[in-house]
Amino acid sequence: MLLSSLLLLLLLVSASQATHFLGTMMTYYPQETFADGSVSVILRYKLNFATCSYLDTWQCSGNCGAQTQTLNLSVVEEVSGEWCQREGAITHLLHNNTGFQTVFAGGNWIDSIQNRIVSWRAVTAVEMRNRSDLGKPNTSPQTTILPALRIPSNCAKNIDLLAFDPDGDEVRCRYGNTLASECNPCTPPSVLSVSSTCSLSFSPTNSSTELPYAVQLVIEDFPKQSIILTQTNGSQEVKTTNDAISKIPLQFVLKVGPPVPSCAEGAYLPRFLPPTPENRAQLYSPAGQAVVINISAEATQSNITGLLFSGPNNAVKTSLGSGSFSLTWTPSASEDGQSHPICFVVQANYLNTLLYSDLRCVIVTAGNSPTTPTTPNVIVSNQTILQNTAFTAPTTTTTTPILTNQTTMQPSVAPTTTTPNIIVSNQTIPQSVAVTAPTTTTTTTPSPTTLASTKANVTTSAPGPQYIIALNMMISTTLSMEDNSDYILALIKTKLIEKGLPSTISLRLLSSGQVVVTTASP
Ligand SMILES: *[C@@H]1O[C@H](CO)[C@@H](O)[C@H](O)[C@H]1NC(C)=O
Ligand SMILES: *[C@@H]1O[C@H](CO)[C@@H](O)[C@H](O)[C@H]1NC(C)=O
Ligand SMILES: *[C@@H]1O[C@H](CO)[C@@H](O)[C@H](O)[C@H]1NC(C)=O
Ligand SMILES: *[C@@H]1O[C@H](CO)[C@@H](O)[C@H](O)[C@H]1NC(C)=O
Ligand SMILES: *[C@@H]1O[C@H](CO)[C@@H](O)[C@H](O)[C@H]1NC(C)=O
């Protein structure tokens, strides 16, 4: 009797310990090259388990040299009862610059994984030979991810992962390959497809319960033109634009949850507001100087309950209330020149169902911005706003933004990415004036960073106590209207309010490209 109850207890313990993995991530930076040809490399990784108590180690094979240092695992973020993400780092000192592989393998993933992954396996291929184009060894792509992302089953969504390469290489994402032993096995989730540009596209399902999927990605860097890799002993190898230089794993859980009444951002699902940096923005902060990332979100039909992030373990999260948060991180001197990823979501609660905003990621580079004055992402020029201060009746302002230079943000191009802002130049905002005739402003070159300028034609309707005015403004932006319309609208709204319009205005984008501004009657 005593024996059988003991046995039962042991089985229960091992069963609960058996299912606890929620993915991992690893990146590397070469550190030093010594006169004798030896090199050092730092591997940074995240381990995601159900609680912060589980331990496991990366196994190295090939030219692993001496493992000079293993930093303790430090907690990045913990959601009690759901997951714990910890960060670790390993430094290897290699006698020569031959690369190596390191593998993280074990069992098991959390229960009920829909694509039936049980064991985990993740592989990093470290390339350390001297690159002919850089005169130094390769750095891997830099990325990170939360242990779990949530998507309501009825919402088609794209998840744009962070895939930044400090060397300026082309980064491509793909699912792991079982035959290459990149996972065990690599069966992708049926509901998710991956593009080589690291965007995951979710197809809605009819599920009403929470279903977890294991997402097992491999990220590689490809040279933009052929390069030669040179070994310490003189051996050389050519890498063409079709040859991956290094590869890293990115593994996490996608939790497909119950449907929501509306998939519109800002209703049930939180929507980011300014001054939240745009996705894949690159920020700079010299070593020893804190970078503060202000994050703001809204959801009208659910309660915002927090910010969850994945990034350096010593980043500090602060909740400022009303959907506002900040993340503060200070790069250390040893990280000078390095780029560190930070990804985050805002979480909301709708009748006890957890809902996440889109994933948003930034890259923080320790050092000064390499460019001379940074180019703002949105420039509004040559606009004239004439308004009646009373605003006692509903009014409508129609603006026609002309979007030029529309390109999707290139994550690996350092000089142009920055915290977005709007610059408005040449504005005249007379208060309480009676405009009786159409007005035209002349064109001037508004600022050195403006990419183009245009004539602003401002016309008014018939004079009266309250009137409507048309505002023609030109915007040039590196954001895409297709992907970032909410964000652009929010930026325009903020700027219009700052310039004197009431905070009750709301903006709508018409299919014609016009922006309609309305104010509610008081
Ligand atoms: C790497 O190559 C560059 C030139 O391509 C050379 O200046 C540099 O010394 C090399 N570094 C090592 C460690 O061999
Ligand atoms: C969900 O159910 C509806 C109606 O039952 C059906 O028309 C639709 O095809 C289903 N969608 C999926 C993705 O299974
Ligand atoms: C350099 O070392 C590699 C193995 O590390 C070997 O395959 C290669 O033949 C060597 N090349 C020369 C020129 O010695
Ligand atoms: C972040 O918010 C703080 C406090 O509100 C403010 O002082 C700071 O200028 C903001 N920083 C940015 C980059 O928006
Ligand atoms: C939001 O929180 C309030 C107060 O806790 C609660 O009464 C309300 O039901 C919550 N709303 C939703 C949609 O969960």
- Cα separation, 159 vs 192, in Å, equals 10
| pLDDT above 70 coverage of the chain, percent | 67
Q: Of all atoms in ligand 1, which is nearest to the CA of residue 232? A: 14
User: CA angle, corner 209, sides to 203 and 211, nearest 5?
Assistant: 60
- Cα separation, 424 vs 476, in Å, equals 11
Residues paired with 221 in a beta bridge = 171
Provide the residue type at 473 as one letter: M
pLDDT tens per residue across span 119-143: 999 999 999 999 999 999 999 999 9
| C-alpha 503 to ligand 4 mean position (Å) | 20
Q: pLDDT band at 386, cuts 50/70/90?
A: very low
| C-alpha 233 to ligand 3 mean position (Å) | 6
- Cα separation, 485 vs 296, in Å, equals 17
pLDDT tens per residue across span 10-24: 333 333 445 799 999
Give the position of tokens 């933009």: 224
List Cβ neighbours of 103 (8 Å cut-off, separation of 6 or more): 58, 59, 60, 61, 121, 122, 123, 124
- Cα separation, 187 vs 176, in Å, equals 8
Provide the residue type at 241 as one letter: T
Could you tell me if the CB of 204 is within 6 A of ligand 4?
no
User: 327 and 314 in contact (C-beta within 8 Å)?
Assistant: no
Please compute the mean of the pLDDT values over residues 304-310 and round it to a whole number: 98
Indicate whether 238 pLDDT > 50.
yes
Indicate whether 187 pLDDT > 50.
yes
Could you tell me if the CB of 207 is within 6 A of ligand 2?
no
Mean pLDDT is lowest, of 154-168, 239-253, 295-309, 425-439, for 425-439
Give the position of tokens 């208060």: 431
Indicate whether 424 pLDDT > 90.
no
| C-alpha 351 to ligand 5 mean position (Å) | 7
User: What is the separation of C-alpha 434 from the centre of its chain, rounded to a whole number of angstroms?
Assistant: 47
Indicate whether 216 pLDDT > 50.
yes
User: Using the 8-state DSSP alphabet, how is residue 180 labeled?
Assistant: G
CA torsion angle 299 302 306 309 (round to 10): -70
Helix (H, G, I), strand (E, B), or coil: what is residue 163?
coil
Could you tell me if the CB of 231 is within 6 A of ligand 3?
yes
Q: pLDDT band at 450, cuts 50/70/90?
A: very low
- Cα separation, 339 vs 331, in Å, equals 10
Q: Which ligand ends up closest to the CA of 285?
A: 4
- Cα separation, 296 vs 105, in Å, equals 38
H/E segment holding residue 483: helix 481-498
Indicate whether 402 pLDDT > 50.
no
408 against 266, higher pLDDT:
266
| C-alpha 191 to ligand 2 mean position (Å) | 14
Question: Phi and psi for 187 in degrees, rounded to 5?
Answer: -35, 115
Q: Ligand 1: residues whose CB is within 6 Å?
A: 33, 130, 132, 135
pLDDT tens per residue across span 325-382: 999 999 999 999 999 999 999 999 999 999 999 999 999 999 988 763 443 333 333 3
**Atom 5 (ligand 2): residue with closest C-alpha?**
206
Q: pLDDT band at 71, cuts 50/70/90?
A: confident
- Cα separation, 433 vs 500, in Å, equals 14
Q: Which of 102, 215, 207 is nearest to 149 (CA)?
A: 215
Q: Which ligand ends up closest to the CA of 128?
A: 1
- Cα separation, 354 vs 348, in Å, equals 6
The pLDDT value recorded for residue 369 is 84
Percent helix, percent strand, percent coil in the chain, to nearest 5 = 10, 45, 50
Q: pLDDT band at 488, cuts 50/70/90?
A: low
| C-alpha 109 to ligand 2 mean position (Å) | 29
User: 307 and 317 in contact (C-beta within 8 Å)?
Assistant: yes
Please compute the mean of the pLDDT values over residues 226-251 and round it to a whole number: 97
| C-alpha 122 to ligand 2 mean position (Å) | 35
Mean pLDDT is lowest, of 29-33, 267-271, 443-447, for 443-447
Q: Which ligand ends up closest to the CA of 291?
A: 4
Give the position of tokens 């202000």: 294
User: Using the 8-state DSSP alphabet, how is residue 335 labeled?
Assistant: G
| C-alpha 460 to ligand 5 mean position (Å) | 45
Please compute the mean of the pLDDT values over residues 167-196 and round it to a whole number: 98
**Atom 14 (ligand 1): residue with closest C-alpha?**
130
- Cα separation, 29 vs 137, in Å, equals 9
* DSSP per-residue string spanning 56-124: ---EEEES--EEEEEEEEEEEEEETTTEEEEEEEEEEEESSS--EEEEEEEE-BPTT-TT---EEEEEE
Could you tell me if the CB of 294 is within 6 A of ligand 4?
yes
Cα atoms found within 13 Å of the Cα of residue 434, Cβ hemisphere only: 4
Pocket test of ligand 3: the residue of 231, 232, 236, 237 to mutate, having most ligand atoms within 8 Å of its CB, is 231
H/E segment holding residue 4: helix 2-18
